[in-house]
Each structure stands twice: as structure tokens, then as C-alpha cells.
Chains A and B, each alone.
Chain A
Amino acid sequence: MPENISNKYDAVVIGGGIAGQETALNLADMDYKVLLVEKELSIGGKMIQLSKVFPTLDCAACITTPKMSETARHPNITLMLNTDVIETVKTNGHFDITLNIRPRYVDEALCTGCQQCEWVCPKVVEDSYNSNMVGRKAISIPFSLANPKIAAIDMEQCLHCKKCEKVCVPKAIDYNMQPKRVNVEATSVIVSTGFNLFKPKNKPQYGYGKYPNVIDAMQMDRLIAPTRPYNSLLRPGDGKVPDNIAYILCTGSRDSSIENAMGCSAECSNNPICSQICCMYSIKQAQLLMGALPLADITIYYMDIRAFGKGYEEFYQQAKSMGVNFIKGKVAKVTPKEDNSGNLILRYEDVATGKLKEVKHDLVVLSVGVLPNSGIVKTFTNQKLELDDQRFIKQVDELVSPSLTSIEGVFVAGTAAGPKDIPDSILSAGSAASEAASYIKRFSN
């Protein structure tokens, strides 16, 4: 982070996913000074993890990386990565925000992203960018398309062998880096903190975490992506090329029985609403799998197919005509086939015929739902940022001004306000930018 960053901004955008970037870019293009705060080591959010996106099947990277570059380079945007919001206080119509920049133990100004350190580092840790399906090193760049492409050390895992320090030519490694507090002042705040994916372990009936060939949809997106963790599209249980893949839709969505499950952890809660994206991303993955594994059978177990957006119904019909198998019926449980093959048995009622089925698949994908990620509300201390019944940021004038929140001057963009697909998140970001710009303009006049 540059030392001499200004501490006054027209807008502070919290969260650097697609909605945060879009809002920041819109405001910056209007010549407003924007600070983009991101808790991860790179901007990009969830979208940069994806393979391709529906319904156009553009590769996600082709859409996000230019946006990320543009955001990172824009003269009116300051990026603050690896940063947490500690407190936001509204005083005299503006916001005083306290931020904490966590140390990455690598000097951003010096690191060239050459990855020499990564090669020599002997400590292997889980690679969260690849949904933990593969390892990375304790010192590494966050992922190949990261922006900025700068290494960071996972200090909890570091062995302190100093191999990286020896090999780093520009001497960028600094084991003694300390967290840094920064105070900034902003006219407006945009909350674009996105969403969490449902943790599939909280639906123990499906055996996620117990059977290695039960994966969630984000893992499948990683497997399909060109920057995939494996040398090919393989299942994580034993590296087999799958040929009979099942999708279980509504895993953790439209479900008020989650709390009843044995082994449901304290954090798990019922989720009666629909996550809006799972049908479509599953159909997308099915289409991509038909291309990648032409001989594979793909079955999607669904309750209702919700292909509602522009071109979505057509996309769904196309998947059907490609041979993707759609079966109406909620899978009740997944059990392993008792022959050590790693294959799985899905038990469901085929609603069309009323028959009870037990069917074998060699890879099961759980189409996990969208949950709120609204911990940020706790940092608003002197005014309350309200949540709705589902714990998303409350839209106080949902129909006429969808970006307004319970605090004047705080706006919400993207999935922080509720489940949305990418086009809707981008539109919502545009709408938040419009509201914020109008607000800032009034304020500065």
C-alpha cells in the first residue's frame, strides 16, 4: 500500500467482487475519488474463480480480468487489499472509517510476482482459490490471475526455513511486517460484500466431506476452468475421469429442514428462500461438461428449473436438447457404493412416475445456495445498518430506490442485498453508483 495515500474519499466501496469493482469504476469514471477495500489478497471476488458464465458461455476470466485491471489501474481508485473494516462512524454527514491492513509479509512495491519463492517453499497448504482440492505453498501468489499478482505468506503455516528469503532477488520478503491501522474519511459508503456459499457439510444427508467424490458446485467450476487444479477434469477421490455425474439442486436453498439434521453445526440455519443462481450455473456446468466429456452422462435432479433471465429459458432448452438428463425429484440421501469404487448411490423419488430410485453416479455435485455475508453491519457503530429477515442488507425502498439502506449515505450493491446472478449484480452496482453519485453531488454542492 502506498504510504502517502490520501485519507479523504468521495466513496468507500467495501468488497472488491464484480459488484464492488463495477460500482467503483462507475464512480471513478465520474471523477469521484474511490477507495476499494478488499479483505482478500486480490480483487475479483467469487467471479474470478468461475470457469465460464451463463447464458453466453463467455469465460469468466475474459470478463473479470479486464475489469480487475481497469479497477486496479484507474487513477481515481485506490485499492486496499488484505484489509478489514474495523469501525464506521457517521459524524456530521460523513463517515470516519477505521481500517486494518493485515500484513502479507511481502513488500508489494518490490515483489514482481515471479513465484521463485513459491517453487522453493517446502510447506504445502490448502489452496482456497481451488476450493482446497489441491495444495499450494505457504508463500504463493493468491492465484494465477490475481490482481495485484504479488506473493503473500501464510504465517500460521510458515516453517520459517527462510528458503524464500534467500531466493527472492528484489528482497521483498519481510517476516516482521506488522498490521497497519488506517483512518479514512468518506462522503459515502457502498457495501458490496457479496455472499457466502452454503456449507454443504450442513446437509449431512449428502455426505460432503465424508465421501471425496461428493463436491460442491464451486469445486466443479474450478475443475472445468482452464486454470483448473488438476491436469484434466478428474474427480478428487481418486483422479478418475468421471463419466456419470449427478447434480443435486437446491442444496441448502428452499430448505427449512437444515436445522433438524443430525450433526448440523451451530452456525447452520434454515434457508427458506431460493438462491436464484443454482439452476442456471448447474445447467451451465452441464453444458460445459457435455463438451469436455462427450461420453459422460449428466443428470440434474431438480425441484423447479428457474431459468428466468434473458436468454435463460433458451439456454435450459438447449441443455435438454444436448442430452442433459433432467429429473424432478429431491435427492434424499447419498450413500457410498459398497465396493470401494468411490461411486455413490443417490436415493430419490422420480416424481414423474412416483417410483423410488437408487441410482449410481461416479461424481456428485451439490448445487449449493447463496447465504448472506453481512458481518459488516457490526462495524457500523453509531447508526444501525439494518438486515432483512434473511440477514441480507435491508433495502429500505426496494421498488423505487433499490440501493438505499437504513443509513443515509450507505448504499448496497450486488448480492449483499440478496441472491443475484452476475448480470443483475452488475446492474445493481450501476444503480448503487447512480444513487451514490447523486448523493455525493448533493453533498459537495
Chain B
Amino acid sequence: MSHINPDFADDITKFGAKDFNLCFNCGNCTAVCSLSTNDATFPREMIRYSTLGLEDEIKSSLKPWLCYYCGECSSDCPRQANPGELMMSLRRWLTATYDWTGLSGLLYKHMSVYIGGMIALLAAVVGFIYYSGLSKEVVMHYGHLFEMFAIAGVFAVILLPNIIRMWYFTVIKPKVKAPIKVYFKALSELFVHMFTQKRFLGCEDTKENRTRWLLHFILVLSYLSLLFTTVFLDWFSTSSTFVIWLGYVESAAIFIITTVFMSMRVRKTDAMHKHSQPSDWFFVIWLFLMGITSFAVRLLIDLNLINTLFWVFTIHFTVLVQWALIIVPFGKWTHFLYRSFAMYFERIIGLNNQLKK
């Protein structure tokens, strides 16, 4: 027996859900969804759980991560209950639920905390740069060190425990007892989805027009490789022409593609861009800033202007710190991670069910 929690609706509304209670359970969204299958029907089930406030059911479900917000469900919904937006909100809610620190939920729900955090980091960076008395070169060196340690730290302290929690909620608690070999067998799923977003191609729109998927794909590749280029190839200090050009291409790709995405959100061209939340904006704007400031910093280095225009690096460093300490561990960046793991866990559950049969 499940207990109804009518207050959940208010809670999920804080995560961006809008009008989902208008749902009259016709099932049109599930049927029109190109990604919904008989093994996992959504979004109506998730809307229903949200209406009834069945948190345990939602917490143990991977379905919100299987949704790519193609938008058909929302545009075809006879009551305009925004099923796609609810799925998006559930992903935010799940992100908050997986996060052991509780910061994620705080940041999603309270704009002021989010902005406060961002400002605090800005102050910290500016303070560090201008009041630590360190030379510009040392600062830039610390910048590089920060990047390395921040990634390692965030991953070890926040992301890894959160993924383990996700695994616990969705696999262990529902009593899926999969043998280790299944975990290995399913591993390919994790990487394929992480790097290609293959499932996104299932959307009806994407089938006809692959541009959006392609842009998304290039963006992911550029982002990951720029990360690699700056951290391991030390782009800002390298003298290798190849690495320098590689960095330029990667960072340019990031800020160009994010510009396209931002304009889509402004113009609200498709269903998924109709209801942008602050967290969506922060994500895309900061990614854009990451791309453009790193491009600018390297350009200034090459033009030998970095010392005179050091404030550019200050901006870049600020953006980097905010990105690494807020958006990556607690913001939309984690969706990328959780989604890939959801695909992986889903595969494990599927394989395990096959084994049982």
C-alpha cells in the first residue's frame, strides 16, 4: 500500500514543473513518445506518481533519465500539462535526491542561494588573485592546479558517492540482485551513451533532422576533450602548436554551439526550450563563458597581451571555479553523468531479468 502525499506537487513545482496536475491520464504522452517502450512506459506513469506524491516509486525509477525531452509529449498533450517539463523537473529532483550533501536541492529550489554561492566564489577568486600578492604566472599555475584537484575532489567526494546512492536507490533497494558479470557485460552501454547520446536519436524530430543531436554530440566531445587538453596537456602553458590549435578548435566549438542553444531557448523554438529554468540558463551560459574565456585567455597569451589584460584571466578563472564547484557537482552537469549511469543500470536490470528467465 502506498500513501498519497499531496504536498509533493508543491515540492516538484519548485524544481520547475508546471501545470502537470492538469493531466487527465489519457496516456497520449506515453503513446506519442518515441523513446517509451513496453519495458519502460513514460511519461504518464511519472506524472501519476508525481500527482500522488509517491516519492519512493519516483526515487527508485530510472525512467526520468530515459527521457530526452524530444517534446512530442508536451506539444501533443490534449490538456497542455507539460509532461516533458515534468520529466525534466523530476531529473532535477532526482539530482537533489541523489546528492548526499543536500546542496543540490538547495540550489535548485532557492535562486538566492545559487546566486549567493556564485558571488561568494567570485569574491574568493578575485580576492585570491588581487590580494594574495602572487604573481600572475603563479596565479595561472594555481589555476591549472585547481582544475586538476577540483575535478578529482568533486568526483571523489560528491559525484562518486552520489552515483553510489543512485545505484542503491534504483538497483539495490528494488532488490535487483545482478551477478558481477552482468555489471561488466552492461558496461559498454555506459560509455556509448556518455559519449554519443545515442538514445537522443530516437526522438521523432531527431530522426528527421539530426542537426540538434550532432551539435549536442560535438559539444560533448569538445567539452570532454577541452577538459583533457587543459588539464593533461596544459593548454595555457604548452608550446605544442598542435595542442594550441586543438584547444582553439575545442573552445570555439563550445562557445559557438552554446550560442546556438541559447538562441533556441530565447526563441522557444521547440517544446524542450519553452520552459527554461534558471539552472538551464546557468548551465548553458557558463558553458559558453568557459569556451569563450578560455579561447580569449589562450589568444591573449599568444598575442602576449595576457599581462596587460589579466582581468580576462580573472574572469576565466572565476567562471572555472563556479563551474567546477557549483554547476558540475550540483547543477545540470550531473544530468549528463546520471543519464549515462541510468542507461547502464537499466541495462543491468534488463540483462538480469533475462538471466532469471
The interface of chain A, by Cβ under 8 A from chain B, is 205, 250, 254-257, 260-261, 303, 328-333, 347-351, 354-356
Given contacts A354-B41, A355-B41, contact A349 B78 (CB under 8 A): no
Interface hub of A257, A349, A350 (most chain B Cβ within 10 A)? A349
Determine the residue in chain B with the shortest Cβ distance to A346. B31
Which stretch, B21-29, B182-190, B327-335, touches the partner chain A?
B21-29
Given contacts A348-B31, A355-B38, contact A332 B80 (CB under 8 A): no
Bound-complex Cα distance A271 to B78 (A): 9
Q: Which residues of B contact A254 (CB under 8 A)?
A: 24, 78-79
Question: Could you mark each residue 33-53 of chain B with 1 if its beta carbon is under 8 Å from any beta carbon of chain A, else 0?
Answer: 000111001001100000000
Q: Are A349 and B24 in contact (CB under 8 A)?
A: no
Q: How many residues of B contact A (CB 8 A)?
A: 21
Bound-complex Cα distance A188 to B77 (A): 44
Please name 8 pairs of A and B residues whose Cβ atoms are closer than 8 Å in the assembled complex, sorted by A: A257-B80, A261-B76, A333-B32, A347-B31, A349-B44, A350-B27, A354-B44, A355-B41
Q: Which residues of B contact A348 (CB under 8 A)?
A: 27-28, 31
Listed from nearest, the 7 A-B pairs whose CB atoms lie closest are A349-B27, A332-B31, A330-B26, A332-B32, A349-B30, A255-B78, A260-B75
Q: Are B38 and A356 in contact (CB under 8 A)?
A: yes
Q: Are A356 and B76 in contact (CB under 8 A)?
A: no
Docked complex: B131-186 residues within 8 A CB-CB of A:
none
Q: Which residues of A contact B30 (CB under 8 A)?
A: 332, 349, 354, 356
Bound-complex Cα distance A260 to B76 (A): 7
Bound-complex Cα distance A330 to B77 (A): 10
Bound-complex Cα distance A333 to B310 (A): 58
Interface hub of B26, B30, B75, B79 (most chain A Cβ within 10 A)? B26
Q: Which residues of B contact A354 (CB under 8 A)?
A: 30, 41, 44-45
B37 contact from A205, A328, A351, A356, Cβ within 8 A: A356
Q: Which residues of A contact B24 (CB under 8 A)?
A: 254, 303
B26 contact from A260, A303, A347, A355, Cβ within 8 A: A303
Q: Are B31 and A329 in contact (CB under 8 A)?
A: yes
Smallest CB–CB gap between A303 and chain B, Å?
5
| 14 further A-B pairs in the complex, CB-CB below 8 A; given A348-B31, A351-B44, A354-B30 | A205-B32, A254-B24, A254-B79, A255-B78, A256-B80, A257-B77, A260-B75, A332-B31, A349-B31, A349-B41, A351-B25, A354-B41, A354-B44, A354-B45
Smallest CB–CB gap between B279 and chain A, Å?
26
Q: Are A330 and B80 in contact (CB under 8 A)?
A: no
Bound-complex Cα distance A355 to B28 (A): 12
Bound-complex Cα distance A84 to B79 (A): 37
Q: Which residues of A contact B26 (CB under 8 A)?
A: 250, 303, 329-330, 351
Q: Are A257 and B78 in contact (CB under 8 A)?
A: yes
Bound-complex Cα distance A349 to B45 (A): 10
Given contacts A260-B76, A303-B26, A356-B37, contact A333 B31 (CB under 8 A): yes
Q: Are B27 and A351 in contact (CB under 8 A)?
A: yes
Q: Are B75 and A257 in contact (CB under 8 A)?
A: yes
Bound-complex Cα distance A255 to B32 (A): 15
Smallest CB–CB gap between A331 and chain B, Å?
7
Q: Are A256 and B31 in contact (CB under 8 A)?
A: no
Bound-complex Cα distance A105 to B59 (A): 74
Q: Are A205 and B41 in contact (CB under 8 A)?
A: no
Q: Which residues of A contact B44 (CB under 8 A)?
A: 349, 351, 354
Q: Which residues of B contact A261 (CB under 8 A)?
A: 75-76
Bound-complex Cα distance A362 to B26 (A): 23
Bound-complex Cα distance A333 to B28 (A): 9
Smallest CB–CB gap between A350 and chain B, Å?
8
Bound-complex Cα distance A356 to B38 (A): 5
Determine the residue in chain A with the shortest Cβ distance to B24. A303
Q: Which residues of A contact B25 (CB under 8 A)?
A: 351
Smallest CB–CB gap between A117 and chain B, Å?
48
Interface hub of B31, B37, B76, B80 (most chain A Cβ within 10 A)? B31
Smallest CB–CB gap between B268 and chain A, Å?
13
Interface hub of B44, B45, B78 (most chain A Cβ within 10 A)? B78
Bound-complex Cα distance A332 to B33 (A): 9
Given contacts A303-B26, A330-B26, A331-B31, contact A356 B36 (CB under 8 A): yes
Bound-complex Cα distance A255 to B79 (A): 6
Given contacts A330-B26, A349-B41, A349-B44, contact A356 B79 (CB under 8 A): no
Bound-complex Cα distance A254 to B77 (A): 10
Q: Which residues of B contact A349 (CB under 8 A)?
A: 27-28, 30-31, 41, 44
Given contacts A303-B26, A354-B45, contact A257 B31 (CB under 8 A): no
